[in-house]
Structure 1
Amino acid sequence: MTFAKLNPRHIQNFSAATILEPHWGYADRALPCTSDAGSCAYLDVVYASHDRGMLYSGIMWCAIGGILLIWAIYRQVASSANYSIAATSYPCGLRRVKNTLAAFSRRYLLPDAARVIFGRTTRLQVLVLTLLVGYLLIFSFVGISYHTWTTPVSSVPGLYQTRSSIGPWADRVGIFAFALTPLSVMLSSRESFLSLITGLPYQSFNFLHRWLGYIIFVQSSLHTIGWCIVELRLYQPQPSVGIEWITQTYMVWGIVAMILLLLLFVLSTPWGIKFTGYETFRKLHYVLAMVYIGACWGHWKQLKCFLLPSLIFWFLDRGARFVRTAILHHRLDHPGIFALKAVKAALTRFPDQEGGDVIRLDLDSAQDPWAIGQHYYLCFTQSSIWQSHPFTPLNAPIVEKGKVKHSYLIRAKGGETKKLASLAAQGNLETPVILTGAYGDDITNGLTPQTNIICIAGGTGITYVLPVLLELARQSIPPTRKIELIWVIRHSSNTAWIGPELDLLQKARKSLNLHIKIFATRDVNSMPLSINDHAPCNLSGLDMDEKVIGVSQSSLSPTSCDCEKPAPVEKLGGGKQDGGKHPDLLNLVNSFLQDTVEGPTTVFASGPGGMISDLRDIIAICNSGPKVWKGKQRFDVDLMYDDRLEW
């Protein structure tokens, strides 16, 4: 932007200036001011307000950087600590304080907050958003002198125009909109720099990314409205001043940026996503966001200090995705640097007329093992190379002959997964797959030998919790440690999805001190069925909650087979027309906690949003900071969850 274009707007005479005073993020100021007294006073407010706005933006970013630095140091110290049995049998010192504060925060910050407004989001996330909004609200107004100046129009004798603090205030909210753009990009990145520092999965930042986008839209709208009032109403003479203003290049780019931001806002609403489809929305979001940043650069390039990092973060994210994929699929036995080859995956189809077929994928990949709880993005090239979907391997990562086996469960509801089910239904037993990952952190990191574990899953959510149990089955478990699996499915036949893995857990039940409870929500309770689709070999010695409903012990022969006693399925449905009912998770969790001997408890959960919301409330009630401080570790209950799945 040239000074000639700024002269009418900023009423500065650059030809008479002896000094050009630089201002970061703004046009240089011509000194001394040769305009009338009111105009010079107005310019004082404009430049002082802008400088303070840049300062407040810097303070905001320093605070964010400081929090991330402290978080990174804490994670490093915590990961290097020696968690011996003696050290963790009773919390003391800093550990005691940490556990007490953690239990206290879970009790009050874990449940959902104002679900009607924020959806299924924890109070902690809403608290972080509230703190950010509070800072922006305060410093959008602080440091501005609010006055009104009536100044003469030099070109039209007898005509006056009004100069007010609306302009400086509109500039302030515009600065904050620019300053928040890099943070918004960071919160949306799959190759998340924030996840690397905090250990939180990238999807946990989606809520803040979405609401930060809303904030930027509101700020940009207020910035636009403020300057429209100034240029189209307060400045005189009209309409010549307004026409001259709106036709300037920087204003054309400003209009383009605002239109793009409006499209981003509308398309990101639930109605917009439903209308376009999620995949279309996601790709439009990528393109529109980058063009929007370019338009912002054209509108006010003096603030490129915020726009350039946004572009860098976006391109780093895309580049890192490509590198991850290339590393996984590069074939050493093929010449050439671009010798990439998709992995062949075996398909197994489980028909389901109610919720969509379930497909099991099994494949082998030459790679390093992933961490428990991490997931991969899978692209099914037979249907489309432009889409990929996140899935969690249901097996433990074990390297055999230089390869790691992957097994996935996929609920085919629509889109690419529906096409995959159609391929399996047509008799295709293999399909090429491109993997990208692994993403996420080790969800078992920080578990001590005394930590009791309860795994709760709904439907295909079993893939999130099953690797935890399979990994524990390979370890030596203290006799006082209690472990339980609660799996809620629609029908007893659904257990066939993970038949081999359930067999492994079945054999390790005694050594793991593992209790398996499976609930079929839509099966009639008079039709008992075990996970192996046959009656148990022997019910003697089983707990009451493990007995198969409707089958008497006397009707079964203990010598009919020599297999392990399979865990039965408790059927909760009332008939074909019954939608099914879910088990009482509150009683199940409370019963588990009351039976623990010592140590804290970690709950691993995956399923639909309703189940996760219920569990947040349940776990919050189970936590008690004062009791943990007194050494009652039973009231220190953590929750690790993945709510991307449905029943």
Structure 2
Amino acid sequence: MASHSSMLVSRHIQNISEAKYLQPHWGYPNRALPCTNDPGSCEYLDVVYHSHDLGMLYCGIIWATIGGILLVWAIGRHLFPPLDTEQSRLLTMESQRTDNKHYIHRLKDSVAALCRHYLLSESLRAIFGRTTRLQVLVLLTLTGYLTVFSFVGIEYRRWVTPVKNMPGVNNTRTSLGPWSDRIGVLAYALTPMSVMLSSRESLLSIITGVPYQSFNFLHRWLGYIIFVQSALHTIGWCVIQMRLYQPQPSVGLEWIQEEYMIWGVLAMFFLTVLFVLSTPWAIRRTGYEFFRKCHYVMAILYIGACWGHWSKLNCYLIPSLVIWFIDRGARLVRTALLHYHYLPDGGMGFRGASATITRFPDSVNGDVVRLDFVHPSRPWEIGQHFYLCFPEITIWQSHPFTPCSLPGINPQGSIHSYILRAKKGATRAVADLAAAKTIASSHDSKVAATPAASTSVLLTGPYGQEIMDHLTPNTNVLCIAGGTGITFVLPVLLGLTARRPVPDRKLDLVWAVRRDADVAWVRQEIDQLRRSAVLHDIKVRIFVTRERDLDPGSHGLKQVEALSVGPQDDRIQVSSASVTSSSSHQLEKDKEATCVDTLSIHHPTDPDSEPQDGRPDLTSIMQGFLDTTVCGPTVVYASGPGEMVSDLRRIVAGCNSAGQVWKRKERYDVRLVCDDRLEW
């Protein structure tokens, strides 16, 4: 603190010994009054302190605005919660009798359709990547807000003041100084928000209901904004101290050796490393795990260096550290609570889950691994995911995976099933571990899976939000997945088919895979959907993109017949009231006939076409689905390659029409729910 004061005495030429009193300023050294320097220096000090006080006020306005938005959001969620099944049924019946009574819900749906039509698509992908216009709009609004507060309230002037005891030598003082201080203060003020946006145990998610991973785009770009602000702050004061203040180079050399400046240089260095490592180029070069670990370390070092540089603004640094440590501590507590339970010997202790590994070899695209285990934990919500750690491989890495199993409790606990593709890193190590532990190998590795291995798994979670809370009984559901993205959409369909059937509701699954053999990843779940087709209007279409049908006349019937039509899985509960009075014998015959008609497998039809031409035409699939719906809105659940999700955002945006929704044409009310659990 003493070094800060002495530095400012030299910089601002304040005569502390001649001051009658010291005027306090939050976040800045005290002002010596009255000012006994030359008139130019006194006017400059007036501008500096006034600008700083306004800057602190503007920071308070920024945080008040953020708090107000969150408060209104929370109140809105409380006043207009998602309708449950009975509420939706009553609302539908009432809406059939009057067109005016429930205009609020109609208005809400119309505004949502309008926003989706214009803001769901992606723009400026070369700059912002695969993100929606809504997030880009939020970022641009925040950037404009900060830009205004960076310049407003500063008197832009220039003062030429004499240097004491050096006749003929003058200092040039400009408003560059107070402006540089202003953007430095804003960078400090934004630090807690940046940390909050990156938290997995997110307070923002609790308030808004938005999954924590949806804030990663803003976290990344807010970090870029802080970097630009800090760089401009540094450049501004370098120009002032090394060019405008005289005599040089003695003033510049003396300034750079100040303790607060050494910490400032370190803070800028750590922030630069953070910026470089967070670029897509650096992540591809170094790997995500290296980036993540370095990001944690550099962030803590940056906050510490900021404290050393300007401790008077620790009102922003302390919350940043508190949020960071609470987030990490909560992760450890959640993991401990998940795995601290009764052991086989009757005692209590910490033990990981024992998962069975089923490996599906694929030398071209990378092996696929399925993990199955039962864990004594509470059920999760459909759409949530867990972070899995494999102690036999490393305890320093965990990866997010969505269970493809339906959440629920059996006498032993919750059934967990995960599908992951082994490319490199921990996922590759899991596949290699399974291969090393394999007892018996399949004779045909291209078709059959190789069972046999097991490993210990540590879970953290669940994370994310419920993705079916806005579904009403008459909502049509279209699930589109690519590859291992099937794990995100399968629980949605399994959950819906476990409920009472709804007349005229459509349920479709479109799944793109590279090989016929890939269907075996989720064979039992597909079987469950096919058996449910007796009671539900459900269709399953599988598109094989990298293999042609060797027997074009079969149209995939061999693959359909390979999927067993076994007894009803005991995890799917169907209400007895939904079953007709037909005899069980006739029901079984209908079931077998319906199962074959429900599932179809498609291959590229042109022998000369490229294998990837077998990808589904999402535009025609989307339009065909909407054209065949009888009533109700539509929700599209999607997970897969980024290109597929980008196309769906554009297609779904075009299907929305606020005017048609206001006229009660629910076919034009189409929502898209994507799996965005990847952190970057």
Residue identity opposite 1:306 in structure 2: Y
| Structure 1, 425-434 or 599-608: larger mean CA deviation | 425-434
Q: Deviations over 1:424-448 (max 9, x none)?
A: 1223410000000000011001211
**Aligned twin of 2:265:** 255
Identify if the C-alpha distance between structure 1 residues 577 and 413 changes in structure 2 by more than 3 Å, giving closer, same or farther: farther
Partner of 2:630: 597
Corresponding residue for residue 497 of structure 1: 521
Which position in structure 2 is the counterpart of 1:16? 18
Corresponding residue for residue 314 of structure 2: 304
Residues 1:5 and 2:37 aligned together = no
C-alpha contact 1:45 1:145 (8 A) present in aligned 2 = yes
Residue 563 of structure 1 deviates from its aligned partner by 9.1
Residues of 2 paired with 1:460 and 1:507: CA distance?
A: 22
Counterpart-to-counterpart distance in 2, 1:73 and 1:412: 44
* 1:336 CA drift (Å): 13
Query: Which region of structure 1 is more displaced relative to structure 2, 67-76 or 210-219?
Result: 67-76
Structure 2 residue identity aligned to 1:8: S
Q: Secondary structure at the match of 1:155?
A: coil
Distance 1:517 1:27, change over 3 A: same
The question of whether the paired residues in 2 share the 8 Å contact of 1:365 and 1:405 is answered with yes
Task: Name the structure 2 match of 1:41.
Answer: 43
Q: Which moved more, 1:281-290 or 1:85-94?
A: 85-94
8 Å contact kept, 1:375–1:392? yes
Unaligned runs of 5+ residues in structure 2 are 439-452, 566-588
For residues 305-354 of structure 1, give each alpha carbon's deviation from its aligned partner in whole angstroms, at most 9, with x where no partner exists.
11111101100110010011001100234899993111100000111122
| Separation in structure 1 between the aligned mates of residue 8 and residue 487 of structure 2, nearest angstrom | 61
TM-score between the two structures when normalised by the length of structure 1:
0.93
Deviation at 1:19, TM superposition (A): 1.6
Letter in 2 for 1:321: R
1:206, CA displacement in angstroms? Answer: 1.1
Say whether 1:240 aligns with 2:215.
no
Q: 1:88 to 1:353 in 2, by over 3 A?
A: farther
CA contact (8 A) 2:559 2:601 kept: no
Report deviation, 1:387: 0.4
- 1:616, distance to aligned residue in structure 2 (A): 0.2
Query: Which position in structure 1 is the counterpart of 2:466?
Result: 442
**What is the RMSD computed on CA atoms of the aligned residues?**
2.2
Deviates more, 1:71-80 or 1:397-406: 71-80
Deviations 1:375-410 (A, max 9, x none): 000001111111010000001111001500000001
Inter-partner Cα distance in structure 1 for 2:627 and 2:606:
30
Secondary structure of 2:545 counterpart: strand
SS of match in other structure, 1:195 = helix
- For residues 104 and 326 of structure 1, do their structure 2 counterparts lie closer, same or farther at Cα, with a shift above 3 Å needed? same
Gap change, CA 1:644 and 1:531, over 3 Å in 2: farther
The answer for the alignment partner of 2:570 in structure 1 is none
Task: State the one-letter code of the partner of 2:632.
Answer: G
User: Which aligned pairs between 1:514-529 and structure 2 lie closer than 5 A?
Assistant: 514-527=538-551, 528-529=555-556
For residues 435 and 577 of structure 1, what CA distance do their matches in structure 2 show? 44
Q: 1:346-357 to 2 correspondence within 5 Å?
A: 346-357=356-367
Q: Deviations over 1:265-323 (max 9, x none)?
A: 11111121122211011000000001000000000011111111110110011001001
Q: Measured at CA, do residues 643 and 576 of structure 1 come closer, stay the same or move farther in structure 2, by a change above 3 Å?
A: farther
Matched with 1:404 is 414
Partner SS for 1:381:
coil
Of 325, 330, 341, the match for 1:315: 325
> TM (normalized to structure 2)?
0.89
Distance in 2, Cα, partners of 1:471 & 1:630: 31
- Inter-CA distance 381–530: structure 2 relative to 1 (3 Å threshold): farther
- Contact 1:600/1:634, CA 8 A, preserved across alignment: yes
Aligned residue number for residue 569 of structure 1: 601
Tell me the amino acid that sits aligned with residue 371 of structure 1: E
User: Secondary structure at the residue paired with 1:79?
Assistant: coil
Match of 2:89 in 1: 85
Match of 1:619 in 2: 652
SS in 2 for 1:426: helix
Q: CA-to-partner distance for each residue in 1:546-590, whole Å, 9 max, x for gaps? A: xxxxxxxxxxxx99x889426121112756993422111111111
What is the aligned partner in structure 2 of residue 462 from structure 1? 486
Identify the residue that residue 640 of structure 2 maps to in structure 1: 607
- The structural deviation recorded for 1:262 is 0.7
* Partner deviation per Cα, 1:457-510 (whole Å, 9 max, x = no partner): 111100000001111111012112111111111112111101111111111013
Are 2:463 and 1:453 equivalent residues in the alignment? Answer: no
Q: Please state whether the residue corresponding to 1:524 is helix, strand or coil.
A: coil
SS in 1 for 2:327: helix
Matched-pair contact (CA < 8 Å) for 2:121–2:650: yes
1:585 aligned onto 2:615: no
Q: Measure, in 1, the Cα distance between the counterparts of 2:345 and 2:529.
A: 43
Q: How does 1:322-471 map to 2 (within 5 A)?
A: 322-333=332-343, 339-428=349-438, 429-471=453-495
- Displacement of 1:536 in angstroms is 9.2
Instruction: Return 49-58 or 68-77, whichever deviates more.
Output: 68-77
The residue that corresponds to 2:54 in the other structure is 52
What SS is found at the alignment partner of 2:394? coil
- Taking the aligned partners of 1:106 and 1:563, their CA distance within structure 2 comes to 36
Query: How far apart are the structure 2 equivalents of 1:80 and 1:131?
Result: 28
Structure 2 counterpart of 1:278, one-letter code: Y
Structure 1 SS opposite 2:151: coil
Whichever residue aligns with residue 622 of structure 1, its letter is C
TM-superposed CA distance for 1:114, in Å, is: 0.6
Is the CA contact (8 Å cut-off) linking 2:534 and 2:594 kept in structure 1?
no
**Displacement, 1:530?**
4.4
Tell me how far apart the structure 1 counterparts of residues 533 and 280 of structure 2 sit (CA, whole Å). Answer: 44
Other-structure match for 1:118: 128
8 A contact 1:472–1:512 mirrored in 2 = no
Q: Do the aligned partners of 1:496 and 1:531 also contact (CA within 8 Å) in 2?
A: no
Contact between 2:527 and 2:564, CA under 8 Å: does it hold in 1?
no
SS of residue paired to 2:349: coil
The separation in 2 between residues aligned to 1:473 and 1:629, in whole angstroms, is: 30
Q: Secondary structure at the match of 1:368?
A: coil
Distance in 1 (CA, whole Å) between partners of 2:202 and 2:260 is 33
Q: Is 573-582 or 506-515 further displaced after alignment?
A: 573-582
CA–CA distance in structure 2, aligned partners of residues 286 and 336 of structure 1: 39
- The answer (yes or no) to whether the contact 2:405–2:491 under 8 Å persists in 1 is yes
Q: Secondary structure at the match of 2:604?
A: strand
Q: Structure 2 vs 1, CA of residues 563 and 161 (structure 1 numbering), >3 Å: closer, same or farther?
A: closer
Q: Equivalent residue for 2:73?
A: 71
Whether 2:161 is the aligned partner of 1:151: answer yes
Q: What is the distance in 2 between the residues matched to 1:611 and 1:477?
A: 30
Is this contact kept in 1: 2:370–2:419, CA < 8 A?
A: yes
Amino acid at match of 2:236: G
Partner residue, 2:176? 166
Match of 1:26 among 25, 28, 34: 28
Structure 1 pair 488–34 and aligned structure 2 pair: CA distance change class (3 A): same
Deviates more, 1:79-88 or 1:354-363: 79-88
CA drift of 1:81 comes to 5.2
Deviates more, 1:86-95 or 1:508-517: 86-95
Whether the 8 Å contact between 2:197 and 2:216 is mirrored in structure 1 is yes
Contact 2:656 2:669 in 1 (8 A): yes
Equivalent of 1:475, from 493, 496, 499? 499
Secondary structure of the structure 1 residue equivalent to 2:437? coil
Distance 1:575 1:263 in 2: 51
Distance apart, 1:129 and its partner CA: 0.3
- Map Cα deviations across residues 141-166 of structure 1 (whole Å, 9 max, x no partner): 10000010111111212211111100
Q: Give percent identity, aligned residues only.
A: 55
The one-letter amino acid paired with 1:18 is K
SS across alignment from 2:107: helix
Q: Distance in 1 between matches of 2:20 and 2:594?
A: 96
| Counterpart code for 2:223 | G
TM-superposition CA deviations, 1:43-83 (whole Å, max 9, x none):
00000000111111111111111111111111222337563
Amino acid in structure 2 at the alignment position of 1:159 = V
The letter of the residue matching 1:315 is F
Contact 2:400 2:677 in 1 (8 A): no
Q: Aligned residue for 1:534?
A: 561
| SS state at 2:35 partner | coil
